[in-house]
Every structure is written in C-alpha cells, then in structure tokens.
Chains A and B, each alone.
Chain A
C-alpha cells in the first residue's frame, strides 16, 4: 500500500501530474501562450523545489518506484532540461500559426513520463512511463501539423516506438517467465541464485533491441536523423536528451540489478552495439550538410560513448556515465538552443552553409557556438572533454581496453565534422542570416548564457557537480 510518508518521496512526480491538469484547465479558461509558458516553468520549479528538499535516503515507494541518488540526480537533470526547453519553446512557437498552448501540457506529461522512468523499479511502472513519454512525443513531434514533414516524422516515431515497446514487452515477458519476478530487487535476488538459460538470454536480447531503438544505438538508429530534422528544435532537444537519458538510467538499473552483464554473450552484444554506434555515428556525420542531422549522428556516437561507461560494470562506471549524461545534456541543449535562436520567420536554419560567415557578423554568438561544438567534440576545457575523460578512467579501471581505443579513434574521426562547422562560421564571407527570434527574447539569451557558463564550468571545475552526483 501507499503510505503518506512514501508519497513525500515522489512529490516531484505528483507536482508534475497536478501541473499538467492545472495547465490544461487554465487553457480551458483562458488561452494565452505566455501565461501557459510561465505556468509550465513554475510547475517544473516547484517540482525541483520538492526534489531538493527531499531527505537523502533510498526509499521504496510501493513496489513500483525506488527513489535513490541516481534517480534523484536524473530527476533534477530532467527537470532543469525541461525548464530550458520550455524557455526555448515560447519564442520558437511565437511565429507559428498553430495553437501553442497544448504543447505545454504535452511537454509536462512527457517530462513526467521520463522522470517516472528514471525512478522505476518495476516492469509495469517502466512500461507505463515509457508509453506516457512516447505518446506525448508523437504529438509533440507532429505538433506543427500543417507541415507534411512533421507529420511524417511523427508517424515514423509512432511506428518505431511501437516496435521498440513490443520488443521490450516481449523481452520482459520472457524474463518474467524464467524468474517470476517483475520488480528489480526481486530480480537481483534471483540472479544471485541461479544461472542463465536460453529463454532468459532471448529475453535479454529482446530487451536490448528495444532499448537500442529508444536510445538510438546502431543498428537501431535509422529513425534518428529524420526525426531530428523534421521535429521542432525544442522537441528535438527533448528527444535527444531527456528521453534517451531516462531510458539509459533504466537500462543501467535493469542490467546492474539483474547481473546480465556478467554473461559473456550479453556483454559482447553490448560492446558490439557500443562500438558500432561510436564508429557509424561519427562516420555518417562526416559529409553531412544538414546541421540537425549532424547533431543526430553526433548523438548516436555520444550514446555509444555512454555505453562504454555502462559496460565498465562498476560504481565508477555509474558515476562517470552520470557525469557524461550531464555534459551531454548541457551540450545538446545548447546546440538546439542555437538552432532555436537563429530560426526566423522562414523557419529554422538547418543547413550548415546557412551559418557561413557568422563569426564576422555576430562574433559573440559564434564564439558560444564554437564552444558548444568543441564540447560535443570533446576538446579540453569544455564539458564534453571531462565527460569522456571520466568514461575513459572508468573503463581503464576495469581494463576494457578495446572499447577505450574505439572511443579515442572514433572521437578523433568525429572531430572533423564538428570543426567543419566552426570552419564554415569562420570563413570570411557575408553572413546571410536575416531576422531571427533570438535577438528579441531575453529569456532565450539568458538560457544560452547559463548553458555556456555550465559547459565551461563543467570543463574547468567539475568537483561541485561530482559531489552532486555523489553515488
């Protein structure tokens, strides 16, 4: 049963649920985009407030949820990212003819889904939160429904998400057949007792495929570039950061509890997925002319790096993956913020060529842009570098040399296309950037500045953040 005391630990989730309903009723009373936006940000801030004031201990909230330090960290990260994305959304949708208010309900619900996924301790709660996230995302991707590309992307995501969910469900069913348990703690007690059999391995394989789709790891990555380029920039940022991060954390919990990684075959499957994600992501990005597709390939390779931390199977591995998630969230949010910043009446500037000569017309923005690119590439003094550094350290600690070599080589390949963007910006030509929405949105500028400071801060003085992860 649920006790009142236990409910205190899921206050952030309850606040989000209430917030979604309140925002919906508010729209029914009065339609106003700015008001709705502020209410959404307030919801996230109140949830964050409850999260910070929670006692720091690991608690089971019924069988379904388990609130621990990883869960709390991820919840905080998701809520902060959601605030940033909400800030992006107001100026972005200002020029659109679409009704803007429903967007925020869906955004809150998608955030609720991913937050619940991060603290899920049970197959049932995971699957429901996964569905909550996916259903909200279909509508968010296709939000600008008068553009055929956006509806096409929504349909693609719908099919992909359905396939992924059915794989995950079938995998869970097979695991349940063998173990008879659906909560992760029960699975832990099972795995210590007996060895794996064929059905269990089949269940693992199905689950890995499903998570591969969700996190866009190679060879399940094909949907990513299409959807990133067609979805509105803030929504693309949501998919690239929050939904992947939440899925990753549950994957981490599942396999660390279940002990599947000790199996040679499971480990090799994950290692193969990680290796191919790192190489193929970077390789496909090399000649990419479309900035949003380039970010998609970049995020594929980043998730590959993240898997190296996951495969370390150690506390260090968890800690480094969490730090990497933080750095990745900051960089990806910032780059999508840049795209939002430069989108104008005619839509987003998604070609790299559109940014030609930016450095000479808007040096400050170009500098921020460059730092973000360097952070994605993993150059020292930026968040991306330290993220990779910790992942490498964690991998070194457990002697996974092969993966580390792949990580180093593939990130060198990736450096090429990140720097190509910088080179285009630096070329001495007339900038063709016309009117853009960023120039008259104070909040957007503020968000970009905060993310810029965060990227540098993470890269120079990470210890305060490491303390926060404190696992």
Chain B
C-alpha cells in the first residue's frame, strides 16, 4: 500500500504545482480536480473510504462545479466564446488524463489487492464517522454551522452589487468597446 500512497502523493503534488502555474483558470481547475482525486485515493488506502467518497462528491463534484459555473457566468460575451474554442486542445487535457489513468490503475489495484484486509490499516466506515460527528463532536458540528453563517453573511455583504461594476481584471475587450 505504501507504493500507492507515494504515487498518489506525487500525482497530487504535481497537479497542485500545475494549478498554481496555469495561466488559464479553467485549466487550473482541471488539475485541481485531479489533485483532489489523488488525495481521495490516499484517503482510501489509509482506511477511510467514507472520507474518500466525500472528497470526490463534495470537493471534486459539488464545489468544483460551482466554481466552474461562477467563472463561466463571469465571462459572458463573444470574446469568451472565441476563447472557449481553444480551451480544449489536446495538449491541455493529455497530462490530466494520464494522471487520472494512473490513479484509476492504483484504485483498481487497491480493490483487487487482498493485502488490504490483512494490513494494520483500520477501516472506518460511515456509521463510525456519523457516530462521532453527532456524539462527542456535536459541538464542533454546531460551531461549523456558525462558521458557514459567517461565510454567507460576509460573502453576501462583499458581493452585493446595485450597479454592475467590473473589476479592471475582469473587463474584457468588448465591454471596453461599448
């Protein structure tokens, strides 16, 4: 299992470096999703399948899609259509795909491996997680709820706009031409 951990860790690191060095934000997201998959594999082989599933569903699924949605909404106009055409040239998606395939192979190997059953890794399932979340850690869950209120109220205040104003970084060419 150590080998799987190291390979996934390298994939995660590589992807995260790619995230911060990409110029185009959608490409960065592509790598971020792969990085989250890699972390999810690490969780899986460390005996936390529930957290691994959550990582994929919540982070790679819900949050990333929301991000992508928000970005697509911000870039309306003819210009962005032109930009989107060159978004998916083969050079862009090759590396993430290869990395994803590596992770997939790892996952299949981990599933087929019989050693997981005999290894010292203790598997923690969903029931145990929810028992501690709503047992001893219930106050932490409540406090997290307050954290979400803070986030929402803050975002509501900062993001509220009466007049539509673009930040200078977000101004595209066609909005300048108008």
Contacts and interface: CB of A to CB of B under 8 A. Distances in A.
Interface of A: 1-2, 10, 17, 20-21, 24, 61-65, 99, 102, 105-106, 109-110, 112-113, 116, 124-125, 128-129, 131-132, 135-136, 138-139, 142-143, 145, 154
The 4 A-B pairs at the shortest CB distance, nearest first, are namely A139-B154, A109-B150, A136-B150, A102-B157
Nearest to B161: A145
Contacts of A105: 149, 153
A4 to B, nearest CB: 13
Contacts of B142: 17
Contacts of A1: 135-136
Contacts of B136: 1, 62-64
B149 A109 contact: yes
B137 interface: yes
A107 to B, nearest CB: 10
A128 B140 contact: yes
Contact of B144 (A128, A136, A138): A128
B139 A24 contact: no
B143 interface: yes
A135 B150 contact: yes
Contacts of B77: none
Interface in B124-178: 135-140, 142-144, 146-147, 149-151, 153-158, 160
Contacts of B137: 62-64, 124
A21 B152 CA distance: 12
Interface string B109-135: 000000000000000000000000001
Contacts of B135: 1
B31 to A, nearest CB: 19
Contacts of B144: 128
Contact of B147 (A99, A132, A143): A132
Contact of B149 (A20, A61, A62, A99): A20
Nearest to A135: B150
A116 B154 contact: no
A2 B139 contact: yes
Contact of B143 (A102, A106, A128, A138): A128
Contact of A106 (B138, B154, B160): B154
B150 A62 contact: no
A17 B158 contact: no
A109 B146 contact: yes
B143 A135 contact: no
Residue of A65, A105, A116 with most chain B CB atoms under a 10 A cut-off: A105
Nearest to B151: A135
Contacts of A145: 157-158
B16 to A, nearest CB: 13
A138 B154 contact: yes
A96 B153 CA distance: 19
A105 B152 CA distance: 11
B154 A99 contact: no
Nearest to A7: B139
B139 A135 contact: no
Given A2-B139, A109-B150, A128-B147, 5 more contacts: A61-B139, A65-B139, A106-B157, A135-B151, A145-B157
27 contacts: A2-B138, A20-B149, A24-B153, A62-B136, A62-B137, A64-B137, A102-B156, A102-B157, A105-B149, A105-B153, A106-B150, A106-B153, A106-B157, A109-B150, A109-B153, A113-B146, A113-B147, A124-B137, A125-B139, A125-B143, A128-B140, A128-B147, A132-B143, A135-B151, A138-B154, A145-B157, A154-B158
Contacts of B155: 139
A348 B160 CA distance: 25
Nearest to A103: B157
A116 B143 contact: yes
A116 B144 CA distance: 12
A24 B158 contact: no
B146 to A, nearest CB: 6
A131 B153 contact: no
A113 B143 CA distance: 8
A253 to B, nearest CB: 17
Contacts of B139: 2, 10, 61-62, 64-65, 125
Given A64-B140, A125-B140, A21 B157 contact: no
A132 B150 contact: yes
B143 A129 contact: yes
Contacts of A2: 138-139
A105 B157 CA distance: 11
A416 B150 CA distance: 41
A260 to B, nearest CB: 24
